[in-house]
Amino acid sequence: MSLFQTIKTPVVTYEQPLGLFINGEFVKGVDGKTFETINPHDEKPIVAVHEATEKDVDIAVQAARKALDGDWKQITPSERGRLLTRLADLLERDIETVAAIEALDNGKGVTLAKGDVTASAGCIRYYGGWADKIYGQTIDTDPNSLTYTRHEPIGVCGQIIPWNFPLLMFAWKIGPALATGNTIVLKTAEQTPLSALYVAGLIKEAGFPAGVVNVISGFGRTAGAAIAAHMDIDKVAFTGSTLVGRQIMQVAAKSNLKKVTLELGGKSPNIILPDANLEEAIGWVNLGIFFNHGQCCCAGSRILVHEAIYDKFIELFKQRAEQNKVGDPFKADTFQGPQVSQLQYDRVMGYIKDGKSAGAKVVTGGDRHGSEGYYIQPTIFTDVHEDMTIVKEEIFGPVCTVQKVRDEEEAIRVANKTNYGLAAAVHTTNINTAIRVSNAIKAGTVWVNNYNTLHYQMPFGGFKESGVGRELGSYALENYTEVKTVRIQISKS
């Protein structure tokens, strides 16, 4: 099988790399295996890509190690920053193509995919700005010594990303790792390998030395597990399910105790209090759960509404959800495309079935949309109680539950009744209420009168079982540096 293929999308025709990107080249896997990636809109294969196994992970790690100890070390921090900003420029140059790849491979609407490309370029440029601003401290302990700290790269970083934001997760991962001088072996999700391979070509074009970024396509149980267990990987960063995150931490501990950061699942509460601007709140609630087809780890999937406005809220929210344009990702006004895969479709439909049989009421949706593709109607459940599976477990689809709460205190109690702690929101026009509630909620991000408004300058990550460490902002830099203390004795003469 060849290493490139021309792909025609409804908006662009482009050259898709298919190989593993190792040591600056697209190559076949050692075992010669390939796997198909499926278009979730029509359930047909788009193309087959080369598959990495443990042996390819090994080769990629060797390339990353060599680059770390060689060319990459010789490059000044400012030059690292320049390479990152150049990559951001190239992404923006190719926005139409990259957005089309995301729409094709992931199923997200092409207009929203353009937003992902812009946010990815912004993130990479932002970390480019950090590259020459990574400082240690000088510490005055006594007159006879000089002590300072260096923030050194951790080394070779394994990065494992999911399929819900294939490009954006790629950017969140490589930005801080490269700004701080690390090298990378990154595995994309098996459902969505295409955009990262295309961007690997841009990494080469930007002028990064060979081996600094290696991008491999492959499966979790093989290539992913090999990254987590590798004895020459110094750090692993993972975004995905809590189940797999737990495994990665165990494997990392059992192997070489590599550093671990995890960005995992959620079951985030979205609280609407009686003094909220209801019309605006409905818009945010709708975006909170249905953005990216509910495939967001921070999706506002548990909606908690004060009893005084509950009936009005349900009426307006139902109307709003029914206006969401569901359909072909390549239509410019599509808001919700298909779920990413048959497996995800089945999982989400399984939860819907479970909710119905547990006695929850479907206010809208509750079924597949159309007859082809992994489309699911935006679905709102009411009449739920705290013990129902659909209230407790992450569904990762366009499905939410609405619970009625008596007052602020009950809202906080119910909001925190979860093992997760990724995000939350409160809608109120009272600043004191906003601060009280956001202080009381155990979550890594609390939005007040908005939802899902992530930004590369703002740290993001989870309390409790939603993760370890923070991505984005200056906080992410800490995940990618080791602090070295140097103490020098000053001679008297």
Give the nearer residue to ligand ADP in terms of CB position, either 65 or 187.
187
Reported as half-sphere exposure (CB side, CA atoms, 13 A), residue 479 has a value of 31
- d(CA 268, CA 464) in angstroms, rounded, equals 12
Measured from the CB atom, the residue of 189 and 476 that comes closer to ligand ADP is 189
- Looking at the Cβ atoms of 105 and 328, the one nearer to ligand ADP is 105
285 and 317 Cβ atoms separated by less than 8 Å: yes
Residue 386 corresponds to which amino acid? E
Strands (E), 200-293: 213-216, 235-239, 259-263, 269-272
CB of 219 to ligand ADP, least distance (A): 6
Pairing of strands 20-22, 13-17: unpaired
Question: Considering the complex, what minimum distance in angstroms separates the CB of residue 430 from ligand ADP?
Answer: 38
CA 39 – CA 372 distance, rounded (Å): 11
| Cβ within 8 Å of residue 25, ≥6 positions away | 19, 210
Q: How far is the CB of 279 from ligand ADP (least distance, A)?
A: 34
**Least distance CB 252 / ligand ADP (angstroms):** 10
Closer to ligand ADP by CB, 62 or 247: give it: 247
Q: Which of 9, 7, 51, 45 is nearest to 28 (CA)?
A: 51
Residue 45, beta-bridge partner list: 38
- Quote the tokens at residue 139: 């510490």
**Interaction site with ligand ADP (CB under 6 A):** 160-162, 187, 189-190, 219-221, 224-225, 228, 240-241, 244, 247-248
Query: Which CB sits closer to ligand ADP, 147 or 255?
Result: 255
Selecting among 263, 394, 408, 471, the annotated active-site residue is 263
Q: What is the DSSP letter of 471?
A: B
Pick the closer one to ligand ADP by CB: 241 or 416: 241
Please state the closest distance from residue 211 (CB atom) to ligand ADP, in A: 21
Helix (H, G, I), strand (E, B) or coil at 136: coil
Question: Apex CA 159: angle with CA 170 and CA 47, to 5°?
Answer: 60
Residue facing ligand ADP at closest CB distance: 220
Nearest-approach distance from CB 70 to ligand ADP, in angstroms: 28
Using a 10 angstrom Cβ sphere, with 0-12 exposed, 13-18 middle and 19 or more buried, the burial of residue 143 is exposed
* Token pair recorded at residue 68: 């770390």
Return d(Cα 484, Cα 136) in angstroms, integer: 9
> What minimum distance in Å lies between the beta carbon of 202 and ligand ADP?
21
Q: Is position 478 annotated as part of the catalytic site? A: no
Alpha helices in 70-109 (DSSP H): 71-74, 77-93, 95-106
Residues recognised as catalytic? 263
